[in-house]
Amino acid sequence: IIDDLVEMSQIDTDQIQLRYSEFELEETIHFIFEEEKKRAKSKKLEFKIENLKGNLPKKVISDKAKFEQIIYHLTHSTQHKH
């Protein structure tokens, strides 16, 4: 939580450093979702994603670590609502 707060303050003051690289978007999302399926199953929840194939660009240029962090936060917040 402390790291998230520090990062948010860095965003607010434009001090955050992004490390851009090219990566496979679908592969990255698939890996994260497989991990989240395991987490959901351990909580007796169902986690599924539909219609990703063909709807995403093959590669993107972004900060992969930040992208993964955002997706993890979104999936965790969704799991806590059920």
Please report the pLDDT score of residue 24 as a whole number: 93
Q: Which amino acid makes up residue 41?
A: K
pTM of full prediction above 0.85: no
Give the C-alpha separation, 22 to 43, whole Å.
34
Give the C-alpha separation, 14 to 46, whole Å.
38
**Strand pairing partners for 61?**
22
Please report the pLDDT score of residue 15 as a whole number: 64
Q: What is the pLDDT along the chain (82 residues), one digit of tens a residue?
A: 455 555 655 555 566 678 899 999 988 988 988 888 888 888 888 877 776 777 788 899 999 988 888 888 887 765 555 4
Query: Which residues, in sequence order, are CB contacts of 48 under 8 Å at separation 6+?
Result: 37
